[in-house]
Structure 1
Amino acid sequence: MATPDIPRSSSALPPLPGDPSTLRVREPGELLAAVPILLGFHPRESLVLVATGGESGRRLGLTLRVDLPPPEHDAAVAADAVQNLLLDSPTGAAVIVVAGSAEAVRPREDLVGLVVHALEARGIDVHTVLSTPSTAAGARWTCYDPCGCTGLVPEGSATPFAAASVAAGRVVRADRNELEQLLAPAHPERIRRREALLIQAADEALYQPDPGASRRAAADREGLDAELTLVDAAIADAAADRLVLDDTRVVALAGALAVPDVRDAALLRCVGPAAAAAEQLWTALVRETPDPEAAEPAALLAVSAMVRGDGALANIALDRAEQAWPGHRLTAILRSVLLGMRPEEIREWVRGGGEQGGVSAVPFPTSRRTIRRNRPGA
């Protein structure tokens, strides 16, 4: 069994600054009630690490979740989880085990010990170490310290953090699977029909005569303007609640987002005045576009989610992009460059054209449909 991949199975973005993250979490039960808000869903069978910092040392920062591993992988998971948490430069940390069962008083003590030791070895104050079978209201939590203190997770609506989160528009889903279903492909027959149209379009493009360098450059400029207009028109329709994605439009948008310059312009829509509508379009396109083209809107959706501080959705979107196109380079760049960055830093990164990660330089194959047809099992 391969060692678990921490970034793929975690939510690793902090909450937005200036909203619930500035509120005080007064006791362990409130922290546990905050965890599903920080992650975007109620974790199950999970190790959760919460970075803290700021002047008080207790301001909530990066939140990371990973599935509880088999015991033989405890050391690798502990090391990788701590390494990822350090991206936020925390001064303190909370370690939480969501065990899924109330039978063990202090479950997975070996894993917890490895995590605590690794954090303390790096000068991080591990001020809170808890276990609970669930983050739902009424679940009993237990401290790993010798005091053995215990309590109940409060109703989320009863905490200031949760109240502020609701006002900020945060959504908590039942589990990670519910998030995954938001991006699951639409009706199989519809997807197959559009895949055939995309293959046909790619084949026709391969056999177009070369019009010469100057004419080709002029045509390219006109084409870029037209394709960006297609994207902006779809975003405008999403903003007006009249978005319709039929076969023709999906194929056209898939072709447009395959062009690096159009993709880069679309990235800017993730931070502009129409960011919410753009995110709505990316979400719909992920469901309605065949693989491997679905990787493009999935990567754009990940950026939109990162900008809002929604680490759970961002990770699900990146997973979906990699599923659609294994080895998708933009997805790899987003994971490596943006993991641990705060939303305001991500906004600046996008506005700067992704210079830190070289997004504009990411090359694209001439015919992605050729790759799709030649892929094993395609």
Structure 2
Amino acid sequence: MDEPPLPLIRLGDTGEVAAALPHLLGFRPTESVVLVGLRGPGGSRVGLTVRADLPRPADAAALARTLAARLVTDDPAAVLLAVVSEAPDRPWTPLLHGPVGPGPDADLPHRDLVHELVLALDAVDVPVREALLVRAGRWWDYDCPYPCCEPGAGTPLPGGASPLAAAAVAGGAVLAADRDALAARIAPPAGGAGAAAMADVCLWAGREHAARLRTAGRSVLAGECDAAVAGAVAACRPGPDTAGTRLPDTQVARVLWALTLTEVRDRALATALGEDAAAAEVLWTECTRRAPVPLDGVPATLLAISAWLRGDGATANVALDRALAADPGAVLPRLLADGLAACLPPAQLRALISDSLGSTR
């Protein structure tokens, strides 16, 4: 499941929210169920949003309870429920608000899942404001009795840039074609001379790192590693001097080995809370993408934290997948994955990081 950005934008037209789902998630969902929490006075603001793949019918009730438990952590006033699916219409089976007499010949798909979600959300006192189907560039309201929401009709999704989409982009979200495309942004290069050269440079940098540890000691080396990380972050700051430049393999390799020192990693984590947060995220992305296993684990963890702090749970999830693939026994990414699964809000994560960094000073 993915927890996406949290733009503070007032809820507008239902079709606008349906069209903005890809921007809220960071990728275009397919065969998914999405719950958009509504907060503020009267539930007028978009809050926490959670997504999951459409389940098998036998698993619908269990998934509904899980999603409801996730969403309620943000204390929403209400929820907008969206099913994104290209499934065709099906024979009429009234589960939510079916007519007393004979109904139409066809019904919208996945109404049984919608029914389970309504029940699960009602059990945690979260009302469903609207339940939508988004399909083939149109949207339907599962509860709408009018011809515009009949199975063969639907309302076209609005075009143009909506305030919701603009807010998500302004918050740093970059739209991917799907979740696989999101993961591909930090995937290692598939073989080739570039990957081999990077591996060779990392071996050389590792020998240099080990020799310096023996001759200068850990304290001196940690200071040098802090400087290496700071220099690389500075090189990733946006501006005319850095536009279009690529960090040299040697610089990336030294950062990767620097992050193997826990104290350096923890101080690097602090950059996510300061003015260089965007530059640091660029660095962690580059290091994750280019690092050989297992050196990719720490930068992937730092990338997950940076993305999560700006509300991009989808990127945080794929980065944590990468970190745990590098080292399945690593404690920090496992704890972060648990927190993300429990929908810990970015503000609470920021507070936890600030407290932990303060206690080590």
Distance in 2 separating the partners of 1:200 and 1:323: 24
* TM alignment of 1:186-225, pairs within 5 A: 186-189=189-192, 190-195=194-199, 219-225=217-223
Instruction: After TM superposition, give the deviation of residue 343 of structure 1 in Å.
Output: 3.2
What amino acid is the match of 2:12?
V
What number of residue pairs does the alignment pair up? Answer: 333
Aligned to 2:6: 15
* Offset, 1:109: 2.1
Indicate which of 54, 77, 98 corresponds to 1:68. Answer: 54
Task: State which of 278, 281, 305 in structure 2 corresponds to 1:279.
Answer: 281
Q: CA deviation at 1:263?
A: 0.7
- String of CA shifts for 1:255-312, please: whole Å, max 9, x gaps: 1111111111111111211111111111111111011221111111111111221222
Instruction: Give the Cα separation in 2 of the matches to 1:101 and 1:290.
Output: 41
What's the TM-score, normalizing by structure 2? 0.82
Is 1:25 matched with 2:12?
yes
Uncovered stretches (5+) of structure 2, i.e. residues with no partner? 91-106
Question: Following the alignment from structure 2 to structure 1, what is the Cα–Cα distance between the partners of residues 200 and 320?
Answer: 25
- 8 Å CA contact 1:30, 1:153 repeated in 2: no
Conservation of the 8 A alpha-carbon contact between 1:32 and 1:153: no
Separation (CA, whole Å) in 1 of partners of 2:227 and 2:253: 15
1:228 equivalent to 2:226? Answer yes
Taking the aligned partners of 1:159 and 1:102, their CA distance within structure 2 comes to 28
Asked if 1:340 corresponds to 2:331, the answer is no
Q: For 1:348 and 1:29, locate their aligned partners in 2 and report how far apart those are by CA, in whole Å.
A: 35
SS in 2 for 1:270: helix
| Closer, same or farther: CA 132–109 of 1 in aligned 2, 3 Å | same
In the alignment, structure 1 residue 39 sits paired with structure 2 residue 25: yes
**How far apart, CA to CA, are the structure 2 residues paired with 1:247 and 1:237?**
13
Shift of 1:344: 3.3
* Structure 2 CA distance for aligned equivalents of residues 69 and 203 of structure 1: 49
Distance 2:162 2:251 in 1: 45
Tell me the CA shift for residue 227 of structure 1: 0.6
Alpha-carbon shift at residue 329 of structure 1 (Å):
1.8
Show CA shifts across 1:321-351 (max 9, x none).
Answer: 2222223321112122355233333333322
CA contact (8 A) 1:13 1:340 kept: no
Distance 1:163 1:193, change over 3 A: closer
Percent of aligned positions that are identical: 37
Of the candidates 77, 82, 85, which is equivalent to residue 99 of structure 1?
Answer: 85
Q: For the structure 1 residues 79 and 203, does the alpha-carbon distance in structure 2 shift closer, same or farther, using more than 3 Å as the test? A: farther
> 1:159-194 CA deviation, whole Å, 9 max, x = no partner?
333344455554322222221121110252443454
- Unmatched tracts of structure 1, length 5 or more: 1-9, 361-378
**Partner amino acid for 1:241?**
T
- Distance across 1 between alignment mates of 2:290 and 2:356: 27
Shift in CA distance, 310/204, structure 1 to aligned 2, threshold 3 Å: closer
1:257 is matched with 259
Q: Counterparts of 1:264 and 1:40 in 2: how far apart (Å)?
A: 27
Structure 1: how far apart are the matches of 2:50 and 2:200? 40
Question: Can you list the C-alpha shifts for 1:228-257, whole angstroms capped at 9, x where unaligned?
Answer: 111111111112417544443333222111
- Hey, what does 1:241 align to over in structure 2? 242
**Aligned 1:262-341 pairs, distance under 5 A:** 262-338=264-340, 339-341=342-344
Please give the alpha-carbon distance, in whole angstroms, between the structure 2 residues aligned to 1:300 and 1:312: 15
- For residue 281 of structure 1, give the secondary structure of its aligned residue in structure 2: helix
1:353 aligned residue (334, 352, 356) = 356
Distance between the aligned counterparts of 2:183 and 2:5, measured in 1? 20
In structure 1, which of residues 69, 89, 92 is the aligned counterpart of residue 75 of structure 2? 89
CA distance in 2 between partners of 1:221 and 1:183 (Å): 32
Instruction: Report if the CA contact (8 A) 2:36-2:79 is conserved.
Output: yes
Amino acid at match of 1:60: V
Contact 2:233–2:283, Cα closer than 8 Å, also in 1: yes
1:264 touches 1:353 (CA, 8 Å); kept in 2?
Answer: no
| Matched letter for residue 25 of structure 1 | G
- 1:142-181 equivalences under 5 Å are 142-145=140-143, 147=145, 150=149, 151-157=154-160, 159-166=162-169, 170-181=173-184
Give the secondary structure class of the aligned counterpart of 1:56: coil
**Mapped partners of 2:207, 2:175: distance in 1:** 44
Alpha-carbon distance change, 158 to 222 in structure 1, aligned in 2, over 3 angstroms:
closer
Is the CA contact 1:14–1:342 (under 8 Å) kept in the aligned structure 2?
Answer: no
